[in-house]
Copies of this chain bind each other. A is one copy, B any other.
Amino acid sequence: MKDFTLHIPTKIIFGKDAIKKLGDQIKGNYNKVLLHYGGGSIKKSGLYNDVVRILKDNDCEIFELSGVEPNPKLGLVRKGVQMAKENEIDLILAVGGGSAIDSAKAIGIGALYDGDVWDFYSGKLEPEITIPVGVVLTLPATGSEASRGSVITNEDGLYKRSTGGDFMRPVFAIMDPTYTLTLPTKQTFAGIMDIMAHIFERYFTQTPHVNLTDSLCEGTLKTVIQNAYIIKEDSQNYDARAEIMFAGTIAHNGLLGVGREEDWSSHDIGHEISALYGTTHGETLSIIFPAWMKYVYKENVDRFVQFATKVFDVSEAEMDKDEIAIEGIKRLEGFISDIGLPKSFTEANLPTDKIDLMAEKATEDGPLGNFKKLYKDDVIKIYKLAK
Contact = CB atoms under 8 A, between A and B. Distances in A.
Interface of A: 1-18, 21, 208-209, 211-212, 214-216, 218-220, 222-223, 226-227, 239-240, 242-243, 246-247, 250, 255, 258-259
A4 B258 CA distance: 24
Contact of A239 (B1, B215, B218, B222): B1
A219 B215 contact: yes
A212 B18 contact: no
Given A211-B223, A215-B219, A220-B212, A12 B1 contact: no
A2 B6 CA distance: 26
A58 B7 CA distance: 23
Given A15-B259, A209-B243, A255-B255, 19 more contacts: A1-B15, A1-B243, A3-B16, A4-B12, A5-B11, A7-B9, A7-B10, A8-B8, A8-B9, A14-B259, A212-B219, A212-B220, A212-B223, A212-B246, A212-B250, A215-B220, A216-B220, A219-B219, A242-B259
Nearest to A6: B12
Contacts of A10: 7
23 contacts: A1-B242, A1-B246, A3-B18, A4-B15, A5-B11, A5-B21, A6-B11, A7-B12, A8-B8, A9-B9, A14-B259, A208-B239, A209-B239, A209-B240, A209-B242, A211-B223, A212-B243, A212-B247, A212-B250, A216-B216, A218-B219, A242-B259, A246-B259
